[in-house]
Chain A
């Protein structure tokens, strides 16, 4: 077996399809194919690493793995999505070497890992910022965290309550299976629940599409997905004293509040095996890839 392959099992084929169509990112598939052909020529496989978890980290880990394998003939990295929770439980069962996570460990998870007598190491690999987007025709250009909480819990229902036109607010959310859904609930909505009538979209691409064609819409997406068809809002986490617009710069210097760390978790016993890959991701070259894909690199 001297094949070097990336297998990315797409849990939500459909959502990726939409995203692909919307972003016109058809070229990626071609690259992957080329990799496979090149990989076939590579000499004997030495280490095989499996990486599993968050769908947010998936595109990044995939790209990093491709570049890593191009440099290190013989390394084989399998990247699989499925969600942060899936990755962490797979690591606990020992079916994956690295768990990708779009959040830190919860106390519950720490307790569980302690219970299983696992010594888990974490590597912070990048940051991801969430943009709050509205339709470009919307006059509102900034909101406070409290206002966002009101909108998504259903307490604020008209744009005029937050300084806009007399128009019904249509909030769009991701599906419950998404890590972004949980992150938004925890960090923006103060752990309160979404309103009962919230619209749920299966993919980030669908949110961009819907917000761009719905006048009163508001939604949240990863910074990397921002397009010209939607308008990003400045947000304030200090009751309206300072508003910060989402940008790569603002996220890097931590002035933009809605950003989250992306992690690799791995078992201390398999550290020797995964270290080269983790180090590559943290290297200057790996961090360049982070920025290319649209995530925020770690500041040195």
Chain B
């Protein structure tokens, strides 16, 4: 009887563990599925705001415009139709708010009931007008013709250089500068954190006496507990002006500032993981090296580092993982300008910072919202690649043993 209960209890616990494992895996897969479902939606959307129409006079030969051209036209950088393949005539812009310049409120009607007719008339009268208005006010017998914009393509999305997710009438979603910004900042962070972290790890593992190590290690690990917004603030008031003065730059919010802040944030991971790896070097190996006449530095350089190299790589990769996904600190110190960076001393905009800053105001289901999810997918793929590398390296480590 007792044995039976014992078995039942065991079965129950086994079942619970299986269920929680399954539920967790399913949740993770669902989140990934959701991320990609939302993100991939962007490629079936037109860059023109939903429910809006861009239209021209029926005799206008221009049938198609690119999103970039629409932006340039509305910025008044393109002012003549011949620049986009039309007749030699100035472009006259019209958006729905301008309707009161052409008609009185009475003509439009108190409840806008005459608005479709008025828009129809207006576009028919003005041969050089480029009109932008809500689709519901498109008259049934609309005389002008609508200009269709091509959907966002994968190439435009990944290789576009202009990130204007909220502009009217057509958004521009080029994320190349954001991807490069993220990689740039992460690369800088790892270049700063790796040598420093490695040096500290060697010091802690081999050189420091146990008393010092017992104080230093918890202090370094404390770094991991500081909230990232505090790092960001520290970066903004200390590191940013410092960089500005040292390099004589017009602006201190640069990729370098982000890299330094992230480097500091990645240090605790790198130090503890690589220190642990170094401390697993068998005593016999170290002593054999010393017995052969090698001094302490030679032992570290020729024996300990090669032995623990896979642990050190894991540390570096985990550090990069943290740097790539970090949001708040980067948002505060890198200036968030969406330009392609050529040096470390230029402002950059990273993917996590973009998502954090913009998701709050992006209308759900809209193209901007989906673009942010697509950015999330890109970030996910980057981190996935890093995790796979970690797996690969640790597998190799086991093989070595």
Q: Which residues of A contact B (CB under 8 A)?
A: 11-12, 14, 17-18, 21, 82-83, 85-86, 106-108, 111, 114-115, 153, 167-168, 170, 175-177, 191-193, 196-202, 206, 209-210, 213-217
Instruction: Report which of A108, A153, A201, A213 forms a contact with B241, defined as CB distance below 8 A.
Output: A213
A175: which B residues are within 8 A, CB to CB? 336, 357-358
6 smallest CB-CB distances across A and B, nearest first, come from A177-B361, A168-B250, A200-B336, A199-B335, A197-B339, A170-B251
- Asked if B347 CB lies within 8 Å of chain A CBs, one says yes
B337 and A197 within 8 A (CB): yes
- Asked if B240 CB lies within 8 Å of chain A CBs, one says yes
* A214 and B333 alpha carbons, distance in the complex (Å): 13
B32 to chain A, nearest CB (A): 26
Name the CB-closest residue of B to A167.
B250
A176 and B134 within 8 A (CB): no
B240: which A residues are within 8 A, CB to CB? 210, 213
A215 and B165 within 8 A (CB): no
A193 and B357 within 8 A (CB): no
B96: which A residues are within 8 A, CB to CB? 107-108, 111
A196 and B250 within 8 A (CB): no
- Asked if B97 CB lies within 8 Å of chain A CBs, one says yes
* A132 and B358 alpha carbons, distance in the complex (Å): 24
Instruction: Report which of A108, A176, A193, A213 forms a contact with B252, defined as CB distance below 8 A.
Output: A213
Instruction: Report which of A114, A153, A168, A202 forms a contact with B357, defined as CB distance below 8 A.
Output: A202
* A153 and B162 alpha carbons, distance in the complex (Å): 14
Q: Which residues of B contact A (CB under 8 A)?
A: 71, 74-76, 96-97, 99, 111-112, 134, 136-137, 161-167, 229, 232-233, 236-237, 240-241, 244, 250-253, 328, 331-332, 335-339, 347, 349, 357-358, 360-363
B338: which A residues are within 8 A, CB to CB? 196-197
B339 and A206 within 8 A (CB): no
Instruction: Report which of B99, B360, B362 forms a contact with A12, defined as CB distance below 8 A.
Output: B360
B162: which A residues are within 8 A, CB to CB? 196
A200 and B361 within 8 A (CB): no
* A142 and B96 alpha carbons, distance in the complex (Å): 34
A193 and B251 within 8 A (CB): no
B256 to chain A, nearest CB (A): 15
* A193 and B339 alpha carbons, distance in the complex (Å): 15
A176 and B332 within 8 A (CB): no
A201: which B residues are within 8 A, CB to CB? 335-336
A11 and B250 within 8 A (CB): no
Given contacts A114-B111, A213-B244, contact A193 B361 (CB under 8 A): no
A177: which B residues are within 8 A, CB to CB? 357-358, 360-362
A50 to chain B, nearest CB (A): 19
* A200 and B75 alpha carbons, distance in the complex (Å): 20
Name the CB-closest residue of A to B166.
A176
Task: List 21 A-B pairs, Cβ < 8 Å.
Answer: A12-B360, A14-B328, A17-B229, A18-B233, A18-B236, A85-B361, A85-B363, A111-B137, A168-B250, A170-B250, A170-B251, A175-B336, A176-B361, A193-B167, A196-B339, A198-B337, A199-B253, A200-B335, A209-B236, A213-B240, A216-B250
